[in-house]
């Protein structure tokens, strides 16, 4: 099966020169531009996180002063949330693979797509500019809670402006995907014939489109307050800090599903390929994405259980939050059931998906403890929450993204990475990740608040374990990226379909030609994952 | 017996959820790993396309629904009693500011740590002088945000004598992690004695007492190290570059300047420090007390 050389017509050599990349309208190139940009920011975020863990190795000052630490965790949060995890899967893999999955040649609005990318770059530049202008990066935490964010002298306005611009990039990508999914499916492909990744992007896009404007408005309100002194959130000039929290979380909670749903889509995509059988419960998985997106709009109040919220509001927000667990657990059960009576190839991408399920289970289940009013009073704003959301965001979405990178690597670049090295990197990442974040859950139950530069002696041991975990995690990350980079240049030429995948992207050559398909792709009979070689149930 | 009346409800809710969670985590992971090996290609060369099962979908929708309702319920019943303090609770004002807690007792006693009698309900009326804080007593399993301009409260009954940490759980700036004090749960008679005992300040300069009482030393050190504001060491008579209406200006930090800065801190900020972080003490500290403070500052060179 192994071809001797890359296909002559592929999107890499279709056009030449730097301008052909910077102003490309090809969804695949835009996806790759996002990949390089987003991964670069991810690495910056990793370095900041690594420095935080070093500072927390021992109580007292290790390597930086409190003010610097506060700026570092703020910048870590802003970069990881706005520049990495929100755009990550939709902007990279959504852009690259959605049109391929739908059997079409591009997204609905290629120019808008390019604009989204450049807005992303502009927003990122603003975020970076906070480093060099004025009194340095914001020290407010990525949540920019008022009134501290109104009072501090650091560069809050510019950070907020960055988030505002990035929001537009996100809105436009969402809009583009919704129209693409509605209008550009290949002839014969109904909604229930779409790959589940497309379904998850569809649910995500609606959140991007409808929730992001709220944070845009909120961020403008902060600027109005800081620059013009209009009392909106700061009580000393007549505002209400709780109003800010509501507005912030009305966006930022649904945003959690912008981060998680596409990852779930990847899992639904990758497990059937390596089980060589159809997905268990296609409709349950597809519709549960929509259910999560929908319920996700109404649960923001669970970030504010200790803010002085009324009992009635607490009751409603708590029970609604618990309801998110139901469609989520439906997905997990269906994924595991998809392994049943499969003919499983245990390959790197599948291992990442298994790690996703394990980490995501811990992330989701610890979320239940935060959803329960009584338990949350104790756990709110402690390291338990830090552990919880890193399990969801990094252990879940991050691992899904790494898995997808290994899964689609041969499709994007037409080459294969070294699998032995990839295995070692995976093991380091999985072990290091859990060693880093599991102790945080215990620290939280013991009562260590988050955003703490210094801590009481009883928290020392677990903090040390976490910091050592961060070293293992980072070495795994370096090995994984180095292995992929080497594979990019020197990897063996891969066949068009090395995993025996069945969705449409595997019908075209690797790397795909500029217009994706030389001939109209053939729809798979009986559903997108109905493997023809497998037995009928 | 638990440290507070809320420990039982909170811990039951938490450990019930953790128990159910561990069961599902271990169960699902085990099944997943078992399938991975049982159905690997070597053991099962031909896969079977099973499209799903309505029975299973119903089971694994209904069972989680029932479980989350149970978890929700115990979360609610553990939380509900926190919402309303008993009428006979001792009311204490708890004031947060960067980066100090102050407690004001009904008879006017002021303390920077909390002392409460055992087995008697205590209600804290929470207020903040500047930004958000959250009063958190991990051992008591209680936490409530302290919102400027808001009127939050929290209550609890200490059930075991002893000293427990009070932490700030809502990020509040540079020294957030140092904003801590303790709650000392004592027998009723020890509490009564404490209430009427004035701290022994005989040797202490009244100006120094005022600086501590108003948390000035959270931001201004006595030993010359730089924190959020300029150090007190040698401040009186020091020449400083300040910013007035955007223009830099050389001044001597004399009595007049220091008192003016306590009243209107943003009028003339020393260069390289940030405005808006210090609140005005115009209505908090009297002119007479301000003079006592400057008297004290003159003594630290």
At residue A298, the pLDDT reads: 92
CB pairs under 8 A between A and B: 300
Q: Is residue B14 within 8 Å of residue A378, measured between CB atoms? A: yes
Determine the 3-state secondary structure of A286 from DSSP.
helix
| Whether domain B206-297 has CATH 1.10.760.10 | yes
Average pLDDT of span A11-29: 90
Q: Which one-letter DSSP state was computed for residue A109?
A: -
| pLDDT confidence tier of residue A2, bands split at 50, 70 and 90 | very low
Share of chain A above pLDDT 90, in %: 74
Average pLDDT over residues A220-246: 87
Average pLDDT over residues A206-224: 88
| pLDDT given at position B249 | 85
Task: Label residue B280 exposed, middle or buried (CB < 10 Å: 0-12, 13-18, 19+).
Answer: middle
Domain range enclosing A205: 18-507
Please write the tens of the pLDDT for every residue from A45-99. Answer: 999 999 999 999 999 888 998 889 999 999 999 899 989 999 999 999 999 999 9
Q: Of A253, A254, A236, A234, give the one whose Cα is nearest residue A244.
A: A234
Give domain status of residue A130, yes or no: yes
Q: Does A53 map to a domain?
A: yes
pLDDT(A403) > 90: yes
Domain map of chain B by residue range?
7-83, 90-197, 206-297
Cβ contact (<8 Å) for A343 and B168? no
Token look-up 């298994």 returns: A354
CB within 8 Å: B177 and A446: no
B73–A contact, CB cutoff 8 A = no
Burial per residue of A205-238, b for 16 or more beta-carbon CB atoms within 10 angstroms, e otherwise: bbbbbebbebbbebbebbbebbeeeeebbbbbee
CB < 8 Å to A77, chain B: none
How far is A428 from A430, CA to CA, in rounded Å? Answer: 6
Pick from B114, B215, B126, B218: nearest CA to B166: B114
B141: distance to nearest CA of chain A, Å?
A: 5
* Residue B150 forms contact with A (CB below 8 Å): yes
The pair of three-digit structure tokens given for residue A257, joined into one six-digit string: 């599903």
Q: What is the pLDDT of residues B159-195, one digit of tens each?
A: 999 999 999 999 998 889 999 999 999 999 999 999 9
Least-confidence region, from A3-7, A423-427, B243-247: A3-7
- A375 vs B10, B24, B80: nearest CB: B10
- Write the ipTM: 0.91
- Tell me: pLDDT of A447 over 90: yes
Q: What is the pLDDT of residues A327-377, one digit of tens each?
A: 999 999 999 999 999 999 999 999 999 999 999 999 999 999 999 999 999
Is B61–A371 a contact, with Cβ atoms under 8 angstroms apart? no
Q: Please give the mean pLDDT across all residues of chain A.
A: 92
Distance CA A28, CA A26 (A): 5
Q: What is the pLDDT of residues A283-292, one digit of tens each?
A: 999 999 999 9
Q: Which residue has the higher pLDDT, A153 or A293?
A: A293
Q: Which of B163, B82, B157, B153 is CA-nearest to residue B124?
A: B153
Is B48–A330 a contact, with Cβ atoms under 8 angstroms apart?
no
In a domain, A524, yes or no: no
**For residue range B32-55, what is the model confidence (pLDDT) as tens digits?**
999 999 999 999 999 999 999 999
Answer yes or no: do A374 and B35 touch at CB < 8 A: no
Q: Which CATH number fits domain B7-83: 1.10.287, 3.30.70, 1.20.120, 3.90.320?
A: 1.10.287
Those of residues 176-205 in B touching chain A at CB distance below 8 A are 176-178
CATH number, domain B90-197: 2.60.40.420
Q: How would you classify the pairing of strands B162-168 and B181-186?
A: antiparallel
pLDDT at A1 over 70: no
* pLDDT tens readout for residues B93-118: 999 998 899 999 998 888 889 999 99
- Tell me the pLDDT of chain B averaged across its residues: 90
Cα separation, A252 vs A14, whole angstroms: 40
Between CA A253 and CA A265 the distance in angstroms is 19
Sequence-separated (6 or more) residues with CB below 8 Å from residue B219: B98, B227, B228, B229, B277, B278
Distances (CA, A) of A137 to A16, A85, A149, A218, A379: 38, 20, 12, 20, 28
CATH number at residue A309: 1.20.210.10
In angstroms, rounded to a whole number, what is the distance separating the alpha carbons of residues B253 and B240? 7
Domain count along chain A: 1
- Which residue of B72, B83, B149 is in closest CB contact with A311? B83
Q: Which of A311, A342, A453 sits opposite B39 (nearest CB)?
A: A342
Average pLDDT over residues B256-279: 84
The partner residue sitting opposite B21, judged by closest CB among A368, A445, A531, is A368
B18 vs A contacts (CB less than 8 Å): 369
Question: What pLDDT digit, counting tens, does each position of B1-37 carry?
Answer: 899 999 999 999 999 999 999 999 999 999 999 999 9
- Domain annotation covers residue A534: no
Residue A3 has pLDDT above 70, yes or no: no
Q: Which of B83, B170, B276 sits opposite A153 (nearest CB)?
A: B276
The answer for A 332-371 residues in CB contact with B (under 8 A) is 332-334, 336-337, 339-346, 354, 357-358, 361-362, 365-366, 368-369, 371
Residues of B whose CB is below 8 A from A369? 14, 17-18, 21
State which residue of chain A sits closest to B73, comparing Cα positions.
A372
**Bridge-partner residues for B91, per DSSP?**
B123
Asked if residue A512 is part of any domain, the answer here is: no
Nearest to B152 among A308, A314, A375 (CB): A308
Structural domain contains residue A514: no
Give the pLDDT band of residue B248 (cuts 50, 70, 90): confident
- Segment among A9-18, A35-44, A119-128, B120-129 with least mean pLDDT: A9-18
> pLDDT confidence of B202, banded at 50, 70, 90?
low
Q: Establish if A298 touches chain B: CB-CB under 8 angstroms.
A: no
CB B111 within 8 A of CB B124: no
pLDDT at A221 over 90: no
Subunit contact A536:B176, Cβ cutoff 8 A: no
């Amino acid at each position: 099966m192994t071809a001797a050389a890359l296909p002559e017509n592929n999107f890499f050599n279709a056009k030449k020169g730097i301008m052909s990349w910077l102003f490309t309208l090809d969804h695949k190139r835009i996806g790759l531009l996002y990949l390089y940009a987003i991964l670069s920011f991810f690495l910056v975020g990793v370095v900041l996180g690594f420095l935080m863990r070093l500072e927390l190795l021992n109580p007292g000052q290790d390597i930086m002063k409190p003010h610097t630490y506060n700026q570092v965790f703020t910048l870590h949060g802003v970069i990881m949330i706005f520049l990495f995890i929100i755009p990550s899967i939709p902007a990279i893999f959504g852009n690259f693979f959605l049109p391929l999955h739908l059997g079409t040649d591009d997204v609905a609005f290629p120019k808008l797509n390019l604009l989204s990318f450049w807005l992303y770059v502009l927003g990122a530049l603003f975020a970076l500019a906070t480093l060099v202008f004025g009194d340095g990066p914001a020290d407010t935490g990525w949540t920019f809670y008022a009134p501290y964010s109104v009072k501090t002298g650091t560069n809050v306005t510019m950070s907020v402006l960055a988030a505002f611009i990035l929001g537009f990039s996100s809105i436009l990508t969402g809009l583009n995907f919704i129209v693409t999914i509605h209008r550009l499916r290949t002839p014969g492909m109904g909604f229930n014939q779409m790959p589940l990744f497309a379904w998850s992007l569809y649910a995500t896009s609606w959140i991007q489109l409808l929730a992001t404007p709220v944070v845009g408005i909120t961020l403008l309100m902060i600027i109005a307050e800081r620059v013009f002194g209009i009392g909106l959130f700061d009580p000393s000039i007549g505002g209400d800090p709780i109003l800010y929290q509501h507005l912030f979380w009305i966006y930022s909670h649904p945003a959690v599903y912008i981060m998680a749903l596409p990852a779930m889509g990847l899992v639904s995509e990758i497990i059937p390929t390596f089980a060589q059988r159809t997905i268990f419960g296609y409709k349950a998985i597809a519709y549960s994405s929509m259910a999560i997106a929908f319920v996700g709009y109404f649960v923001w109040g669970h970030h504010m259980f200790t803010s002085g919220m009324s009992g009635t509001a607490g009751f409603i927000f708590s029970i609604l939050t618990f309801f998110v667990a139901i469609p989520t657990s439906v997905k997990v059960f269906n994924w595991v059931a998809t392994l049943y009576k499969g003919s499983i190839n245990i390959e790197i991408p599948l291992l990442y998906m298994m790690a996703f399920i394990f980490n995501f289970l811990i992330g989701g289940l610890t979320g239940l403890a935060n959803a329960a009013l009584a338990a949350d009073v104790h756990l709110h704003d402690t390291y338990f929450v830090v552990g919880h959301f890193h399990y969801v965001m990094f252990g879940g979405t991050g691992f899904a993204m790494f898995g997808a990178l290994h899964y689609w690597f041969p499709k994007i670049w037409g080459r294969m990475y070294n699998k032995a090295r990839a295995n070692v990197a995976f093991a380091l990442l999985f072990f290091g990740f859990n060693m880093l974040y599991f102790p945080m859950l215990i620290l939280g139950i013991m009562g260590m608040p988050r955003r703490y530069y210094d801590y009481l002696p009883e928290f020392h041991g677990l903090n040390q374990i976490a910091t050592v975990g961060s070293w293992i995690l980072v070495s795994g990350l370096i090995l994984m990226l180095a292995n992929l980079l080497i594979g990019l240049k020197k990897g063996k030429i891969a066949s068009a379909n090395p995993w025996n995948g069945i969705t449409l992207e595997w019908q075209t050559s690797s790397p795909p030609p500029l217009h994706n398909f030389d001939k109209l792709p053939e729809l798979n009979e009986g559903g997108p994952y109905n493997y023809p070689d497998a037995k009928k149930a | 017996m638990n440290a507070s009346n809320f420990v039982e409800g909170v811990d039951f809710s938490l450990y019930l959820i953790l128990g159910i969670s561990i069961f599902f985590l271990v169960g699902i992971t085990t099944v997943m790993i078992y399938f991975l090996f049982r159905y690997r290609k070597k053991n099962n060369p031909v896969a079977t396309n099973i499209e799903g099962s309505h029975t299973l979908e119903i089971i694994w929708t209904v069972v989680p629904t029932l479980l989350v309702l149970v978890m929700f319920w115990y979360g609610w019943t553990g939380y509900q009693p926190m919402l309303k303090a008993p009428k006979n609770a001792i009311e204490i004002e708890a004031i947060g500011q960067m980066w100090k807690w102050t407690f004001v007792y009904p008879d006017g006693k002021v303390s920077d740590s909390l002392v409460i009698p055992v087995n008697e309900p205590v209600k804290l009326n929470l207020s903040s002088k500047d930004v958000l804080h959250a009063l958190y007593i991990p051992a008591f399993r209680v936490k409530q945000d302290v919102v400027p301009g808001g009127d939050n409260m929290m209550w609890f009954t200490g059930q075991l004598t002893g000293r427990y940490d009070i932490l700030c759980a809502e990020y509040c700036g540079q020294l957030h992690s140092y904003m801590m004090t303790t709650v000392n749960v004592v027998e009723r008679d020890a509490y009564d004695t404490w209430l009427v005992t004035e701290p022994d300040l005989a040797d202490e300069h009244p100006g120094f007492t005022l600086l501590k009482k108003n948390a000035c030393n959270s931001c201004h050190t006595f030993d010359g190290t730089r924190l959020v504001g300029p150090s007190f060491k040698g401040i009186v008579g020091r020449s400083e570059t300040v910013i007035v209406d955007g223009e830099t200006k050389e001044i001597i930090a004399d009595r007049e300047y220091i008192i003016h800065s306590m009243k209107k801190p943003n009028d003339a900020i020393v260069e390289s420090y940030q405005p808006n972080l210090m609140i005005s003490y115009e209505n908090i500290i009297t002119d007479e007390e301000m003079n006592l403070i400057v008297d004290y500052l003159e003594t630290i060179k």
